[in-house]
Structure formats: C-alpha cells, structure tokens
Amino acid sequence: MPSAPPPHAPRRPTTLTHFDDVRIDDYFWLRDRDDPEVLAYLSAENDYAAAALAPTAELEQSIYDEIVARIQETDVTAPVRWGAWWYYERTFEGASYPVHCRRPADGDAFPTSLDGPGEQVILDENELARGHDFCSVGVLEIAPHHALCAVGVDFDGDERHTVSFLSLDGAPAPSESIADVGYAVAWSSDAASLLYVRVDDAWRPYELWRHDLGTDPAGDVLLYREDDERFRVSVARSRDDAVLVVHVASSLTTEVHAAEAASPTSLELVWPRRHGVECSLEHLSAPDGSRWWLATTNDGGATDFRVLAGRHDGTAPAFREVVPEVPGRRINGVDAFAGHLVVSERLDGSAAVRLLTLLEGEDPFGDDLAGRGVVVDSDEVPATTVLGSTPEYTTDTVRILQTSLVSPFGSFDVDVRDGTRTLRKRQVVRGGYDASRFASARLWVTARDGASIPVSIVLRRDLLTEGAPHRERPAAPVPLLLYGYGAYEVSIDPVFSSARLSLLERGVAFAIAHVRGGGELGRSWYEAGRLEHKATTFLDFVDVARALVDEGFTVPSRLAAMGGSAGGLLMGASMNLAPDAFCAVVAEVPFVDVLSTMLDASIPLTVGEWEEWGDPLHDPDAYRRLKSWSPYDNVVATGSGGTPREYPELLVLASLNDTRVQYWEPAKWVAKLRAANPAHRVVLKTDLGAGHAGPSGRYDAWRERALVFAWAADRLGVGAAAVAAGG
C-alpha cells in the first residue's frame, strides 16, 4: 500500500432524523453527483487505488494473460433451431462483443458445420460499440416472420435502451427509434406492432406501450400503466405464438394480463392481484385446438409452488392442479411445448430440469402428469442443470445447459420422451485443462440455530488428504475464497469459471456459502433470511467461515470473502459481526447504506425493495431492524474492551452510472471506515463510465476479474506462487 494516507472526504455533517432517532452522516454530501467536489473526490480515490494496486500489477497482468489464454476467443455457440433458421453467436479474437448470426436450415439434421456460404450476420455488436466506452444490447428480439429484428442499446450503463429496427430480408427497415425502453419487448404475430415497457424516473418498468411500425413513436398507444411503485411490468410472447403475456409483479404479489398476439390492441385480466399470491403464466396450444393457461404459483399455501392448468376459452380460467407442490423441491417455472412441459426446479439444493409428457385428447394433463416425468440426468454433485434457449414450439428435443464447479458448460439436446442427452457443444478451455485435477463437493455446516447450510467447494485434488482422494477436506489448511449472496431468493449455483482456475491453480480453494435469504433450498430458505429474519443471512455466512476454520479447511489469516450488490451488503454486515473472521474482503457494487436508501423513496427501486428489506420510512420496527445491521450505520471505531476495531483489508468496486446501487453507497462506506480507523487498508475503485454490471466488453470484464483475483491472491499469500505444472 502507498505510504501516504488515502484522500478523506471533507466533513459536512448532515443531521438525519426519523422516528425521533437522530443520525449524523458526515458523508451525506457525496450523494450530489452534480457537485464538482464529488467527481473530484471519486477521481482522487481512483488515483489512490491505482497506487495501492500497483504492487499487484504484475500479478494482475499474469492472471489476465492466463484468463485470455484459456478462452477460445474465436468461437461459436451451439446453434438453436427456430423455424427455417439456425441461430447462433460468434466471437472473434480481439473483439469485445459477440456477433449474432443465422443460417438457413437444411432439413432437420443438426448442422455438422457453421462454416461456408449462407451465413447472415444479424448484428455485430462490435460495430455498434465503435466509438463508445460502454455498450450493452439489452433487447435483441427477432420478429415471428424472421424478417425484422428489434435492437435496444444502452451506451451509458443506466439500463435505459433506445430501440431501433433492423431488416433481415433486404426490405427497408422502419426508420424510427423508441427511447427509455426497459428490457422487455414482444412482437405481434404479423410483426406490424411491437409492445414494449417504458421505465420511469426511478428506473422502474411501469408502462406498457404498443408501437405500430412505420409511425412516429410520439403516437404510440399506452396499453397499461402501473401506479403502485412496488410493481414492475414485463411483456413476452408465448412460445406457441398465440398470446402476449404481461406480468405485473412485486416481490410478493403478481397480476397477469394477456393480449392476443394477432391483434394486441387491448388486455384481458387473466390472474387477478391478491396480496402475497405469486404467479408466472405460460400458454399452451394443444393439438386438438384447445388452449390452456399454466400457472406456476404459491396459491393455496403452496410454499414451494405448484402448477395449475385452466382453459383459455374467453371466460375466467377454472384452474386445477396438475403438478403438486413437493416441500423442499421449489418449482421455479414451467415452459410449455406442443407435446410436453419442462419444469425448472430445485432438487436436493441444485438447479434441475424435469420433463413431463402431455397426453393427446381433451385433457392433455391427465390424472398423473407428475408421475410421467423424467429428470434430466447430471453426472456430478453438486451440479447445475437449466433449460437453455429452445424457441421452437413443436419439437422432440429441448436445449439443456449443464455445468459444475469443475466441468465446463455443456450444451445438450435432450429427448423429451426419455431424457437421453446428446452433447452439442462443450465450453473449450485452452491449455490442456484436466478436470480430474480438481475436486468439488457439497458440505453441510451447522448454523448456530441448528440449521444445515449447504456449501459448495472446489480445490485442487492434490491438496486433499493423502490416501483418501475423494475426501473433500484438504490435508492441511489452504488459502480459501468464500463467496456469498443471500437475497431475493436468488440461488448462487455451482458453475464453472475458467477465470477462477488462476486461483485454483495457485492452491486457493473456492467455496460458495448458500446462506438463507437465497433460494437454494426452496421458498422457506428465502423466507428465513428476509425482512425480520434478515440478520440470519449474515450470521449464516459468519458461521460458515468459522466452520471452515474449525474443520481444518483454512485459517483466518488465509480466508478471504467476496460478494457483490446484495452480496456486498453481506460482506459489510459480516465484517461488522466478525471483523476477525477474514483477512481480506472484496465488495463489488455493495449495497451498504441500506437504511438511508430505504428511507428515500425518490431513489430508484427503493419502494419496490421494501418487500425485501422492510419499510423503515413508515414502520418503526423496520427502521430499528435495518439500523441494527445496515453496514454503513454499524461501522465503529472501537471493538469490545474499547480497543480499536481492525477490519480486514478491503477492495471495493463501484460504478458511477449504477442505477441499482448508487455510487455514493460504497464511497460513503469507505470514507467512514477510514475515519473510524486510519490504519484500515481500504481501496475504492469507481468505474466512471459503467453501470451495475461493470464493464460491458469481455476484455475489460476479464481485466477487472484479473485485478480482483490478483488482489485476493496477494492477500491470501499466493501472489508470487507459480501456476502448478500441467495446467
């Protein structure tokens, strides 16, 4: 670290009072992005970060070179059949963004090669990004007749897209463009109209509009507006091309509307809003001409959800259960095809896919639909199996993606009748990657309240106990990076990362703590870590860290932690609970100023987040709870006994244009940590041209990953270690 102290934010104390509770915030002024001193302060922090990270610059470059060397830079995805075309993406060495392509289908056989004549480039994102520091294509929607494409681009990182149109058949494309579009759009059947969602000042998708191609967007028709700030609007075309489905959802409640895809001029209410009842609707057109709604819902007290079916015949659907709830096996959604359903679920804590065969005749579901299911096999535990892109409605195969902590992503076509898998593409890892050199396992840690917390771990096999190669415990404590998230019922599933090999090869073990607040073990696992139970998430993470030490996996001086966004909140809260548990922490775009943000309804996304964290603006109990664990509000200068509190070394990454976690949250947090103890070794690096997801180009993203891994490796004592021979 540089000998000179980092820049300190000028103190302009702001008094914040709510429910007769007074807080003094010395760094509240950093919220004013129009204040020249704010940008100057962030720039000074970046200068300090550059100096602080200089000692690991050589290691960063080495890791970056390793990451790039493992990537098949010039590559192509496994093509997906849709109509008369095979669709796929290409990447090219030296190019930061993908190129979207298609070629005509020649019969039904899977193509043996994608080279040669006939390829059509739909969109080259590299050309689109030329002259821009940031470029994110958030909308890429092919029309049903395959002759047009809607493209939505964000050049700032603020997740507001401008949508324009590309011709794919040589005819003139509509010349108009539509501003302030969210991520969701849907074509009418004849591609004469495009439905899209528009975002408000709080970046909430709240309106649904219809644009008729060839007309001025100023004359677009508003089909729906949602005034309740807790709810967000989305739209999608059903796979059978029959309807456009409009979900209006908060964290706890869903309302669903639909429009006929052939004539989306008005909406019909299909699923009324009832507080606490969630629903995801899918549409099915049966071979006999009947039409059905399929609802994945917790209605009727189904904590881990069930699937209902009801006829779509112009009357209010009379839903009946076709796939019952199985406690602990969370149903995340159902996808409908002409002869089968694909159910995405949680099975033994892992993402899994179940194939259900439909019947011919008046009732395609029958009396035992669930009993006719086939679970897609996985060769490893823990592993991740998810449904991939399968736009074709009438098909005997579906695309499935499978991966684990040691196995690169595989794209399989799976026979829906018996689950037989055919590998179409395996992620290439250049340099002779040998998966057998690594071992992964699922551990279970007992939390302080008796709950069993799953932990996924991967490390070099030669570090395991000699004579017992399948035991998951190392022969001696190893450096370990512990990752966590624990919010929104999001599951952090074990997936392969070629970049992570730079840590594993250096002897670092990597573990994921599947703490409560996530969705790994079903809805109850999520409920046990939200609202009044939120502190459980942080306790779980600390308990996992302590257990990894107690069980001999590592020692505190060689244990680092990492998390981003809500996972950054987890980092901050865990540091406050147990500052001695970790030697170093990486917090990426961390949500750490929770109480102040949740008190300010003008900040983007705040109101919609109240159902996740609590509403401290109106509820004094929620105020008290959030204040008790909000990382920024619980930074203290002294620990027990009055001794100075020593936090672990900290690397914080932020983005100026982040709409999900405002830049000032990490900036204020770092300033307060420094003020609490000037000896704290804290680095803040703010990307002044990106959003929540960081850099948009793949090379810039790899560079940032190399920076983080180099910093972590150095703190874990393996910065100078050479990569092991053989990989």
Q: Cis omega before residue 98 (within 30°)?
A: no
Contact 123, 166 (CB under 8 A): yes
User: Would strands 480-484 and 559-564 be described as parallel, antiparallel, or unpaired?
Assistant: parallel
Tell me whether residue 211 is one of the annotated catalytic residues: no
- For residue 466, count other CB atoms closer than 10 A to its CB: 9
Q: Output DSSP code: residue 54.
A: G
Of 220, 658, 687, 714, which is the active-site residue? 658
Contact 456, 481 (CB under 8 A): no
Q: Output DSSP code: residue 394.
A: S
Sign of CA pseudo-dihedral 246, 248, 254, 256: negative
Tell me whether residue 434 is one of the annotated catalytic residues: no
341: its two tokens: 């359903």
3-state class (DSSP) for residue 98: coil
Question: Distance between CA atoms of 149 and 101, rounded to whole angstroms?
Answer: 12
Of 593, 692, 696, 714, which is the active-site residue? 692
State phi, psi for 281 to the nearest 5 degrees.
-100, 140
Q: Which residues pair with 76 in a beta bridge?
A: 90
Question: Distance between CA atoms of 72 and 62, rounded to whole angstroms?
Answer: 18
Tell me whether residue 565 is one of the annotated catalytic residues: yes
Q: Output DSSP code: residue 449.
A: T
Contact 376, 390 (CB under 8 A): no
User: Would strands 350-357 and 340-347 be described as parallel, antiparallel, or unpaired?
Assistant: antiparallel
Of 565, 596, 655, 696, which is the active-site residue? 565
Q: Buried (b) or exposed (e) across 164-191, using 16+ Cβ within 10 A?
A: bbbebeeeebbebebebbbebbbbbbeb
Question: Distance between CA atoms of 120 and 35, rounded to whole angstroms?
Answer: 48
Catalytically annotated residues: 565, 658, 692
